[in-house]
Amino acid sequence: MNLEAIYHRPKLNWAYAYDHETIHLRLRAKKGDLTEVHAWTGDKYAWDTTVELVPMYVMSSDHQFDYWECEVKPPFRRLKYGFLLHKGSEKVWMTENEILKDLPLHPERLFEFPYINPIDVFTPPAWVKEAVFYQIFPERFANGNPSISSDQVEPWGGTPTRDNYFGGDLQGVIDHLDHLTELGVNAIYFTPVFAAQTNHKYDTQDYMKIDPQFGDADTMKELVQKCHDRGIRVLLDAVFNHAGATFAPFLDVQEKGDQSKFKDWFHIRKLPLQVEHGIPTYDTFAFEPHMPKLNTENPEVREYLLGVAEYWIKEIGIDGWRLDVANEVDHYFWREFRKVVKTANPDAFILGEIWNEASPWLEGDQFDAVMNYPLTNAITDFIVERISDASQYASAIGLQLSRYPRQASEVAFNLLDSHDTPRLLTLCEGNKDKFKLAEVLMFTYTGSPCIYYGDEFGMDGGADPDCRKCMVWDADQQDRDLFSFYQQLIRIRSELPALRTGTLHFLSAEEGSTKLVFHRQLDEETVLIFANNDNIIQTLEVNVEEKQWKDNFTGEKWIAKQGKLAVRLPAYGYAILTAIVQ
């Protein structure tokens, strides 16, 4: 037994309250090392009458470790616990401080989950589990009100640059809500809509004002209401890490220097504000002089930004915030931010932009979820770049599932492209079959999928600014096959709850293989996802208990023979099958 690989600690993703009566326990062990694991649990004040051995199962694996998990419902919300570990006939007991050959005499030195305090339970908004997001870059979606367009506006559909404009606005979104309803999405994420000097609006000039090129607060309120009438939620982009160079407090510091009452609103290393050898004398986003970093430790800055967060939820009715460059802002601010936002609307969604492992922000006191770039990377490496095999893909997914409490994974914001990345179709070099396979993997994974505007019509584009082309509204240029494909994917995800919150286990993911099969399970619903990540026809075979299966794309029935289900797939083919209960 490899004891050095065994790991557990209370709280975080290892021991947490899933709801008001359920605790999840996890333990890490070397992959394939342990043959059986039990949690040894009981109430610390009534140990003798509540002690129980709870079986654990491998909830996920990566190349190095297995992650064992179980659910416990302590009768009095308190839990003392240890672990009983087996490797064949060998067994040991794990307490908080040591590993013993014999059963510990007393429970006092076990791990402890002191009490499930309801206020501490991490409870993301339930609606996010059902959401399919659609990301809109407002300046490039549709021009619905040419009268507010600036003189700089170029003809729709021209070549995007970092500085040009095409007149997209909020009225344009209102005019095309039928399109979103037909597609089937039920949530929109907008990149910034507040007054700014650029086409992307990440350099905020006024957080309390809609950019005049997009409309005004009344237009935004109308858009939100019409979205709500259709069952569509609205998420706005909060750029609270930094402001823009035309932000009034920053201009005041530029003018008055050390005499400015706003000088402590920013992180200034040297006055006057200037750029020396390519580096601003003040902190910024990256080294962009026009994006000065805000000092969110300053009480005045904090009060101002928290007021912004509250206003757009209470007065305009938005359903939450996506937080730009979230990991560069202090944790104290985000904890205060959560209190304000959840007081204004307990059902509001708080989504952080973090590209890496993000567990410090997902303990229930800051964000509800983060943008799931580790999933993006896993799918891209496997399907697009072909630099990983099925085993490596399964390992990446297993690691990701182990990192966060289950409720955080259930509302993860899953994406394959965005305004920050090349478009998926371009990454796939125009191969629609690879494109579809990548989307199938995303839509059948835990969390909420997001479609970048225009992907449903086959829009392509390289890195910024090419990924920010004008939306294709000319029917002759729209790929209706892809549109129908997305409609089917959204329908299937909606009809199968197991795809949203079920367990996920890999049935076939061999080293060096391009064949992938994984299993989603929720109560009595069983779903199998088959993926052929190769340019040749392949047959994928797995052991199953059920005899008959239905293909959710085609309606075709598949029959298992002698406990084996064989599915023949074309190049980059896929199938989503559900068991037919007799």
Residue 288 corresponds to which tokens in the numbers above? 């962009």
- Catalytic member of 66, 319, 336, 353: 353
Which runs of consecutive H residues, i.e. helices, occur in 448-572? Answer: 480-495, 498-501
Please confirm, yes or no, whether 381 is among the known catalytic residues: no
CB–CB of 517/507 below 8 Å?
Answer: yes
Residue 395 corresponds to which tokens in the numbers above? 């390992």
CB–CB of 64/34 below 8 Å?
Answer: no
Let me know if 511 is exposed, middle or buried by CB neighbors in 10 A (0-12, 13-18, 19+).
exposed
What does the angle CA 125 – CA 130 – CA 132 come to, to the nearest 5 degrees? Answer: 110
The CA-atom distances, in angstroms, between 369 and each of 278, 313, 362, 404 are: 35, 18, 7, 10
**Diameter of the chain by CA atoms?**
83
Let me know if 195 is exposed, middle or buried by CB neighbors in 10 A (0-12, 13-18, 19+).
buried
Angstrom distance (rounded) from CA 97 to CA 266: 46
User: Strand 548-551's sheet: what is its strand order?
Assistant: 503-508, 515-522, 525-532, 574-579, 548-551, 557-559
Long-range contact set of residues 155-161: C-beta below 8 Å, sequence gap at least 24: 156/470, 157/469, 157/470, 157/472, 157/474, 158/470, 160/465, 160/466, 160/468, 160/469, 160/470, 161/465
Angstrom distance (rounded) from CA 258 to CA 260: 6
Please confirm, yes or no, whether 112 is among the known catalytic residues: no
SS3 call for 85: strand
* One-letter identity of residue 56: M
* One-letter identity of residue 1: M
Q: With the CA atoms of 126, 128, 129 and 131 taken in that order, what torsion angle do they form, in degrees rounded to the nearest 10?
A: 140
Helical pair 480-495 and 432-443, crossing angle rounded to 10 deg? 20
The CA-atom distances, in angstroms, between 562 and each of 111, 312, 471, 509, 557 are: 46, 59, 51, 22, 16
Q: Return the beta strands (E) in 218-272 as ranges.
A: 233-238
- Catalytic member of 283, 324, 336, 363: 324
What does the angle CA 491 – CA 178 – CA 146 come to, to the nearest 5 degrees? Answer: 145
Q: Which residues pair with 53 in a beta bridge?
A: 40
Residue 453 corresponds to which tokens in the numbers above? 């505007």
Angstrom distance (rounded) from CA 182 to CA 165: 28
SS3 call for 568: strand
Instruction: From 562, 569, 577, select the one nearest 515 (Cα to Cα).
Output: 569
Q: Which helix (H) or strand (E) holds 406?
A: helix 406-409
> Which residues belong to the active site?
324, 353
